[in-house]
Amino acid sequence: MEYTYLGRTGLKVSRLCLGTMNFGPFTSEADSHMIMDQALEYGINFFDTANTYGRKKGEGVTESIIGRWFAQGNGRRDKVVLATKVYGEMGDWPNTSRLSALHIRKACEDSLRRLQTDYIDLYQMHHIDRNTPWEEIWQAMERLVQDGKVIYVGSSNFAGWHIAQANEIAKSRNFMGLVSEQCIYNLTNRAVETDVLPAAQAYGLGILPWSPLAGGLLGGILQKEADGRRASESVQQRVNQLRPQLEAFEAFCKEIVEEPADVAVAWLLHQPAVTAPIIGPRLPEQLAASLRALELKFDEEQLKRLDEIWPGPGGPAPEAFAW
C-alpha cells in the first residue's frame, strides 16, 4: 500500500480511502466487518463515514456498524484514521442539523458513542452552512479539538471561496482550520478543477474525491449493458447522454487491457491535488479488485487521450473562462 500525507498535516493515510456508505443499506453487517478487516490486511488505514449514512434518519446505522467492529478489539481503532461528518438531518426537531455550535457539539458526542471511540481523527463538515457565522463554527470545533474529541477538521462539498473564507478566519483565530476537502471528482465531472482544487492546494488541503466511478458510469457500464445487466432508469439516461464518450473510454481501456473502474480511479491518483479517492465496495471481493488502480501508471500520451475523451473545464479559474 502507498501512503501520503493528508494535505499539509503530518498524518499519513493510504492512497485509497474506504468509503462506508453501503454499510447497512446494501452491505450486511457481517460483510461490512469482513470488508474492514480486509482493508487493514491490504494496508488501507483511512476509513470515511458520516452520521447520516444508513438511510434511517437519526439512527447513524453505518457509524454503529463501524463501532461494533471497533469493539472487537485487536487494535482495530488504533490502526484506522477515522473520518466522519456533521451537517445532515439527524431528527425533525430544530437544531438537529447544520452547523450551529449546539448541533456540532451534540452530533460529535452522538458519533463518538455510536463509533465506540473517544476521538475522531477527521471531523468533516458535510456541506457549507450559509446561516452560521464562521466564528461560531470555529469556536465549536476549537473546543472539540481542545477536549481531544477531534484531531483534524475537514470540509465536504465546499466551493473554493468557502475554503478560502474558512481558512482565513481560522488563521485569524490561530487555529489550523481545514486540512481536507471531500468533493465529487471523476472523469465525467471535473468542475472542481476551476476553483476548488487550486484553493485546496493553496491552503494545503488534501482532496478526497467521492464518486470516482460516477455512480457506476465509469465501471464498464456498456459492457455490463451488453451482458444483459440493466442500470437504473436515471443511470440509463446518463448513459444515453454520454454514450459516445463512454464508448471511447471503454475502447481505450480495452486497448491498454485494463478494467474501466481501475483506469478511472488511477486517473484520479495521477492528479496532484488528490490525496485518496474514496472507494465504496458493497462486497468483499470488490475491495480486492480496487487495489489494481494503485499499480496503474499512465504516460503523457495516455493522459492526453483521457483528457480528449473527458475534457475538463479548461483549467483553473479565471483561465478556464477568461484570458
SS3 content of the chain, % helix, strand, coil (to 5): 45, 15, 40
Provide the β-strand partners of residue 84.
123
Catalytic one of 53, 87, 152, 203: 53
Q: Across residues 164-181, what is the average pLDDT? A: 98
How many angstroms separate the CA atoms of 107 and 173, rounded?
23
How many helices and strands in the chain, by DSSP H and E? 12, 10
More reliable by pLDDT, 224 or 22: 22
Q: Where residue 310 falls among pLDDT bands split at 50, 70, 90?
A: very high
> Per-residue pLDDT for 84 more than 90?
yes
* pLDDT, tens digit (0-9, with 9 covering 90-100), for 261-270: 999 999 999 9
Lowest mean pLDDT among 96-100, 160-164, 317-321: 317-321
3-state secondary structure 121-169: EEEEECCCCCCCCHHHHHHHHHHHHHCCCEEEEEEECCCHHHHHHHHHH
User: Using CA atoms, how far apart are residues 124 and 238, in angstroms rounded to an integer?
Assistant: 30
Average pLDDT over residues 219-226: 90
Q: CA 147, 201, 47: angle at the middle one, nearest 5?
A: 50
The Cα 314–Cα 48 span in angstroms is 30
- Which position has the grid cell 473527458? 310
Residue with cell 492526453: 304
Q: What pLDDT shows up at residue 161?
A: 97
pLDDT at residue 200, rounded to an integer: 98
Provide the H-helix boundaries in 187-259: 196-203, 221-226, 233-255
Write down the pLDDT at residue 294.
97
Q: Are 251 and 168 in contact, with CB atoms under 8 Å apart? A: no
What is the end-to-end Cα distance of the chain in Å, rounded? 42
What value does the mean pLDDT take over residues 297-320?
96
Q: Which of 85-89, 173-177, 233-237 has the lowest mean pLDDT?
A: 233-237
pLDDT band at 160 (very low <50, low <70, confident <90, very high): very high
Residue 233: per-residue pLDDT? 84
Mean pLDDT of 277-287: 95
Q: Is domain 3-215+260-306 annotated with CATH 3.40.50.150?
A: no
Q: CA nearest 263: which of 286, 240, 242, 294?
A: 294
Residue 131: is its pLDDT beyond 90? yes
CB atoms within 10 A of CB 90: 21
Q: Concatenated DSSP letters for 39-75?
A: HHHHT--EEE--TTTTSSTTT-HHHHHHHHHHTT-TT
The rounded radius of gyration (Å) of the Cα atoms in the chain is: 20
Q: What pLDDT shows up at residue 227?
A: 83
Instruction: Give the residue-averaged pLDDT of 130-157.
Output: 98
pLDDT tier at 252, thresholds 50, 70, 90: very high
Residue 119: count other Cβ atoms within 10 Å of its Cβ.
17
CA-based nearest residue to 154, from 89, 97, 204: 204
> Residue 225 — pLDDT band, cuts 50, 70, 90?
confident
Domain ranges (residues) in the chain: 3-215+260-306
Residue 230 has pLDDT above 80, yes or no: no
Residue 53 is a catalytic residue: yes
The secondary element (H helix, E strand) that includes residue 17 is strand 17-19
At residue 169, the pLDDT reads 98
As beta bridge partners, residue 182 has 156, 208
pLDDT band at 228 (very low <50, low <70, confident <90, very high): confident
Cell digits of residue 117: 471511540
| Average pLDDT, rounded, for the chain | 96
Enter the C-alpha cell of residue 319. 483561465
Top pLDDT among 236 and 204 is at 204
* Per-residue pLDDT band at 83 (split at 50, 70, 90): very high
% of the chain residues with pLDDT over 70: 100
Look at residue 240 and tell me whether its pLDDT is greater than 80. yes
Residue 235 has what pLDDT? 86
